[in-house]
């Protein structure tokens, strides 16, 4: 074999007592896609930060074309042809696409920007790799997927040969993610070398040529994608056999929530169009669909932050009226919002404050917050729901996504709610956390809670839901029983194809 394009050998990095990278070696050939697979905290991002010169390793070297790269020099890495696509985009929403890409590429004191030349180069890159963007669009007007394209183009702009993507699908919808992987494969065919960091087995198997598994800062395995399986990778990644739980049969109880021809009109647009569903105690109803088809609006409706424009919403058989958020929480509806960082928790407040915020009246005494009771409540959630990484007084943003989600689930489930609205509950979590979130949801179902599961993950819905309805363009399909559903059928339903014999009319 010829010299690999990139060679990382024997890299170690220690942060205090924590050995983030322990003697890791990795190579990358021209035109190859290598996936760096590992749970959160396995050392993937640290390794890439060393590659990019953000950190100086304690031991080991990075070389490109056989020549060692100076440690800790991002400029040198850029010059050597390494481009980085960060998980949190480094972009400015008020500037245009072209301006975002152009920043910093010219000497600061040049008399005028050479906009025409930059535009031509951007358009050439965009055509070559099939990354369509409008150079003059304001970045903030673009969708997340388009913004990521800009971030990729920016990384490619400096004649990049090695492109590193840090959890590129964490922020994307399913369709956007599929589109991204097609693009990445095309790039590799054109001779670009790619490393992408992920903890999602599906995408790693579908996209990478070779998979390097990290765990606890060590490289535990390296496999060709064609010679491994998801089950093996999952076990290598977690270090033990992880099985996602699957629901056991159960008999649903009384109907607790019912929507009949509910329409929600916001800003003159019908976001939900005459949707019907029935949710019974002790069952999970899965609402499956690609993000942006009305899920957010449905969740708002059931969280008390919006009211139907027409149709009936019955809670425990009675019209819901306008109870407001506090009223809904009091009547026993638990909510797991889609975006846990924005709507589920307040990052700079303590775990215990986040735990009691929804039910402040209960934790008030003489008009003051009962801190002691709140701390005890949080401690109970932490113990019962296995929240790790901090105590009641820790700021919640210091917890990992999985532990934050366990706390959010915990504060809802600890009161044994009648209904749980869970929107994308496992999104962005690593394999171990997904399993424990699923377990909690099934436990709640067993205890008689009616669960409305809004998700775009086929596997998740098939594993948890008793009945499944698809949401497309604000319409809901009639329910199908999970026993009768398979991936192909659900895929068709998500595309808006549902048959009339199940009882519903096509979009007329």
Partner 1 sequence: MSTLFDILASAGLWAAVLRIATPLILGTLGALLSERAGVLHLGIEGIMTFGAMIGWLAVYNGADLWTGFLVAALAGAAFGVLHAMLTVTLGLSQHVAGLGVTLFASSFSYYVFRMLVPVAGTPPTITPFQPLDIPGLTSLPFFGPAFFAQTAPTYLAIIAALLLGLVLFRTPLGLAIRMTGENPHAAESQGINPVAIRYGAVIAGSALMGMAGAFLTLSAFNSFFPTMVQGRGWICIALVVFSSWRPGRALLGALLFAFFDGVQLRLQPALNGIVPYQLFLMIPYLLSIAALAIMARRARVPQALMQPYRRGER
Kindly tell me which of 156 and 453 has the beta carbon lying closer to partner 1: 156
**What 3-state DSSP class applies to 106?**
coil
Nearer to partner 1 by Cβ, of 157 and 181: the residue is 157
Nearest approach, Cβ of residue 165 and partner 1 (Å): 15
Q: At closest approach, how far in Å is the CB of 156 from partner 1?
A: 14
196 alpha carbon, distance to own chain's centre: 16
Closest CA to 311 of 265, 280, 279, 266: 265
Q: How far is the CB of 341 from partner 1 (least distance, A)?
A: 12
Q: Helix axis angle, 431-446 relative to 230-238, nearest 10°?
A: 100
**Rg, Å, the chain Cα set:** 25
CA distance linking residue 246 with residue 256, whole number of Å: 23
Closest approach of partner 1 to the CB of residue 86, in Å:
8
The answer to whether 388 touches 325, Cβ cutoff 8 Å, is no
Q: What is the distance between the alpha carbons of residues 294 and 472, in angstroms, rounded to a whole number?
A: 7
CB of 432 to partner 1, least distance (A): 25
Helix (H) or strand (E) holding 264: strand 255-266
Cα gap 89→190, rounded to integer Å: 25
Burial 102-123 (b: 16+ CB within 10 A, else e): beeeeeeeeeeeeeeebbebbe
CA dist list (Å): 298 to 276, 321, 459: 11, 16, 21
139 vs 464 by CB, closer to partner 1: 139
**For the packed helices 174-189 and 144-156, what is the interaxial angle rounded to 10 degrees?**
20
- Cβ proximity to partner 1: between 111 and 267 the closer is 111
Q: Supply the angle between the helices 401-413 and 371-384 in degrees, to the nearest 10.
A: 110
**In residues, how long is the chain?**
508
Q: Which residue has the tokens 């609006």?
A: 297
Residue nearer to partner 1 on the CB measure, 106 or 358: 106
Residue 124 CB, nearest distance to partner 1 (Å)? 20
Cβ proximity to partner 1: between 81 and 417 the closer is 81
Residue closer to partner 1 (CB basis): 89 or 181: 89
Q: For partner 1, which is the closer residue by CB, 339 or 486?
A: 339
Residue 149: C-alpha distances to residues 332, 415, 463 (Å):
43, 44, 33
Residues near partner 1 (CB under 8 A): 74-75, 86, 88-95, 99-100, 102-113
CB of 103 to partner 1, least distance (A): 5
As measured in angstroms, the least distance from the Cβ of 26 to partner 1 is 23
Task: Quote the least distance from Cβ 111 to partner 1, whole Å.
Answer: 7
User: What does the DSSP assignment read for 141-186?
Assistant: GS-HHHHHHHHHHHHHTTT-SEEEEESTTTT--HHHHHHHHHHHHH
Question: Least distance from C-beta 69 to partner 1, angstroms?
Answer: 17
Rounded Cα gap, residues 34 and 313, in angstroms: 50
Q: Considering beta carbons, is residue 157 or 316 the nearer one to partner 1?
A: 157
**Cβ contact 323:339 at 8 Å:** no
Nearer to partner 1, 89 or 316 (CB): 89
Nearer to partner 1, 106 or 178 (CB): 106
| Residue 350 DSSP symbol | B
CA angle 209, 75, 42 (to 5 degrees): 45
| Min CB(102)–partner 1 separation in Å | 6
Rounded to the nearest whole angstrom, what is the least distance from the CB of residue 169 to partner 1 in the complex? 20
- Which C-beta is closer to partner 1: that of 54 or that of 371? 54
Burial of residue 127 (CB within 10 Å: 0-12, 13-18, 19+) is exposed
């Amino acid at each position: 074999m010829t010299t690999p394009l990139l060679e990382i050998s024997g890299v170690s990095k220690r942060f205090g007592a924590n050995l983030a990278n322990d003697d890791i070696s990795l190579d990358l050939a021209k035109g190859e896609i290598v996936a760096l697979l590992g749970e959160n905290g396995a050392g993937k991002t640290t390794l890439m930060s060393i590659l990019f010169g953000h950190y100086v390793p304690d031991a080991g070297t990075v070389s490109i074309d056989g020549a060692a790269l100076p440690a800790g020099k991002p400029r040198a890495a850029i010059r050597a042809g390494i481009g980085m696509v960060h998980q949190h985009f480094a972009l400015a929403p008020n500037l245009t696409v072209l301006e975002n890409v152009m920043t910093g590429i010219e000497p600061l004191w040049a008399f005028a920007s050479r906009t025409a030349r930059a535009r031509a180069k951007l358009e050439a890159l965009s055509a070559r790799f099939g990354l369509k963007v409008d150079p003059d669009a304001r970045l903030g007007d673009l969708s997340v997927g388009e913004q990521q394209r800009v971030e990729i183009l920016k990384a490619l702009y400096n004649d990049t040969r090695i492109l590193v993507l840090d959890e590129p699908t964490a922020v994307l919808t399913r369709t956007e993610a599929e589109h991204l992987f097609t693009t990445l494969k095309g790039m590799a065919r054109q001779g670009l070398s790619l490393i992408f960091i992920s903890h999602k087995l599906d995408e790693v198997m579908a996209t990478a040529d070779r998979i390097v598994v990290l765990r606890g800062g060590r490289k535990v395995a390296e496999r060709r994608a064609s010679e491994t399986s998801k089950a093996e990778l999952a076990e290598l990644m977690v270090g033990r056999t992880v099985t996602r739980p699957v629901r056991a049969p159960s008999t649903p109880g009384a109907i607790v929530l019912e929507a009949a021809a509910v329409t929600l009109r916001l800003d003159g647009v019908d976001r939900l169009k005459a949707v019907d569903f029935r949710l019974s105690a002790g069952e999970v109803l899965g609402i499956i669909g690609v993000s942006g088809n009305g899920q957010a609006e449905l969740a708002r409706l059931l969280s008390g932050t919006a009211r139907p424009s027409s149709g009936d919403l019955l809670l425990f058989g009675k019209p819901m009226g306008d109870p407001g958020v506090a009223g809904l929480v009091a009547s026993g509806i638990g909510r797991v919002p889609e975006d846990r960082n924005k709507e589920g928790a307040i990052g700079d407040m303590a775990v215990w404050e986040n735990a009691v915020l929804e039910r402040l009246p209960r934790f008030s005494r003489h008009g003051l917050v009962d801190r002691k009771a709140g701390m005890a409540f949080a401690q109970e959630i932490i113990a019962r729901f296995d929240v790790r990484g901090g105590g009641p007084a820790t700021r919640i943003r210091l917890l990992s996504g999985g532990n934050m989600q366990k706390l959010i689930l915990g504060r809802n489930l600890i009161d044994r709610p009648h209904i749980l609205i869970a929107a994308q509950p496992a999104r962005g979590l690593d394999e171990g956390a997904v399993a424990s979130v699923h377990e909690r949801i099934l436990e709640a179902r067993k205890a008689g809670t009616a669960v409305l599961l809004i998700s775009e993950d086929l596997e998740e819905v098939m594993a948890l839901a008793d009945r499944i309805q698809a949401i497309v363009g604000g319409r809901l399909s009639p329910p199908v029983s999970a026993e009768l559903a398979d991936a192909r059928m659900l895929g068709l339903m998500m595309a808006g194809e549902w048959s009339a014999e199940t009882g519903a009319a096509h979009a007329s």
